[in-house]
Amino acid sequence: MRLETVSVFGGGSWGTALAQAAAMAGRQVELVLRDPAEAEAMNAARMNARYLPGVILHEAVRPTATSQAADFVILAVPAQATRTLLTALPPDLFAGKPVVLSAKGLETGTLLRQSEILRDMAPEAIPFVLSGPSFAADVAAGRPTAVTLAGDDPSDTSDLATALAGPSFRPYAADDRIGVELAGALKNVYALACGAVEGAGLGASARSALIARAFAELARLVRTLGGSTSTLTGLAGLGDLTLSCTSAQSRNYRFGMALGAGRRPEDITADVGLAEGMWTAPVARQLARDTGVDAPLVDAVVQVLAGEADIATVVAGLMSRPLKRED
């Protein structure tokens, strides 16, 4: 498999960070933005001033609005925008090529994972999913980061991991696409919940209890939806859950903190930016209901986001559930 050139779609923080990582790994990178003026400005400044100010673009990164054919592709737009992006691109851009899906979210309406959207829109692409504890600012600045890269063919996945690995970016190859995608999407919902616990001043003990019960709920969902629970002890599971559920660097966590402090969701987005958990929570609740999985934490987040209950009410509800064995 030739893996010298890569097109990264999405000129936000994650697309720019992954473009930097790929360039540091020795790839020639085009960073594809939808707005030609923004691509030109980024090229002139050699910086993504809006999403990653202060990070000088690697010389192998070429911002552009017109994509050329590359050896492989990385998609890094928000989860709800992946289908729109793919609709606008010619399918032959992807045919027979590795496509790395890096958005962490489930699609509203269809309830689909990112690689299922790709299968719908570009069935001849070869899907890989990348997830794990990784803030764009850390990756772009070359701070040590490790992620999971899952694909169906072990040899191709190892080759792709090697093509993306650099001195500070370490992808571990794996094969459980379903588990990796679900863990990445769901951790955003649980990060909202943990942020809300902090914002409401409920204490560090409550937050740790929540992380542990979130892990158990995630395991039930992953097991039922066809993933492997062993994935959850890895970077895409435990790694990302603990990062996003404890750090105010996470937008989902910050969104939750504001919710916990009593602000309304519609007023928070302008300050925090993209918080994928907001979109994924209702989808996860639907998936849990459809498959009979008990998911009280996802339910609680949906209720708070929808304004159906305040934090105190959902916490009282969770604390008064019948006592049970810890499994």
Ligand X SMILES: O=P(O)(O)OC[C@H](O)CO
Residues that bind ligand X (CB under 6 A): 104, 133-135, 188, 191, 240, 243-244, 250-252, 276
Q: Contact, 215 vs 236, CB < 8 A?
A: no
> What are the binding residues for NADPH?
13-14, 34, 51, 104, 136, 251, 274, 276
Asked if 11 interacts with ligand NAD (CB under 6 A), we say yes
Q: What residues have CB less than 8 Å from 12, skipping those under 6 apart?
A: 51, 76, 77, 78, 274
Q: Which two tokens stand for residue 31?
A: 């960073």
Partner whose footprint covers residue 57, from ligand NAD, ligand X, none (CB < 5 to 8 Å by kind): none
46: left (phi over 0), alpha (psi -120 to 50) or beta: left
Partner whose footprint covers residue 291, from ligand X, ligand NAD, none (CB < 5 to 8 Å by kind): none
Span 21-40, contacts to ligand NAD by CB under 6 A = 34
**Amino acid letter at 136?**
A
How many residues of this chain bind ligand NAD (CB under 6 A)? Answer: 25
Nearest distance from C-beta of residue 35 to ligand NAD, angstroms? 7
Which residue, 34 or 223, is less far from ligand NAD as judged by CB?
A: 34
Which residue, 114 or 188, is less far from ligand X as judged by CB?
A: 188
Nearest distance from C-beta of residue 44 to ligand X, angstroms? 28
Q: Contact, 31 vs 11, CB < 8 A?
A: yes
Asked if 115 interacts with ligand NAD (CB under 6 A), we say no
Asked if 133 interacts with ligand NAD (CB under 6 A), we say no
Partner whose footprint covers residue 252, from ligand NAD, ligand X, none (CB < 5 to 8 Å by kind): ligand X
292: left (phi over 0), alpha (psi -120 to 50) or beta: left
Distances (CA, A) of 136 to 43, 139, 326: 19, 5, 35
Q: For strand 72-75 and strand 145-151, is the pairing parallel, antiparallel, or unpaired?
A: unpaired
Q: What angle do CA 117, 119, 123 make, to 5 degrees?
A: 140
Rg (CA), the chain: 19
Asked if 105 interacts with ligand NAD (CB under 6 A), we say yes
Q: Among candidates 10, 16, 79, 12, which has minimal Cα distance to 277?
A: 79
Nearest distance from C-beta of residue 132 to ligand X, angstroms? 7
Distance separating the N- and C-terminal Cα atoms of the chain: 44
Give the span between the Cα atoms of 315 and 203, in whole angstroms.
13
Nearest distance from C-beta of residue 136 to ligand X, angstroms? 7
Asked if 113 interacts with ligand NAD (CB under 6 A), we say no
Asked if 13 interacts with ligand NAD (CB under 6 A), we say yes
Which residue, 280 or 303, is less far from ligand NAD as judged by CB?
A: 280
> What are the binding residues for sn-glycerol 3-phosphate?
104, 132, 134, 187, 240, 250-252
User: Which range in 58-66, 132-140, 191-199, 282-290 contacts ligand NAD by CB under 6 A?
Assistant: 132-140
User: Which range in 118-126, 196-204, 270-278, 296-304 contacts ligand NAD by CB under 6 A?
Assistant: 270-278
Nearest distance from C-beta of residue 14 to ligand NAD, angstroms? 3
Asked if 12 interacts with ligand NAD (CB under 6 A), we say yes
- Show which residues are catalytic: 187
Q: What pairs with residue 6 in β-bridges?
A: 29, 72
Q: What angle do CA 291, 297, 303 make, to 5 degrees?
A: 95
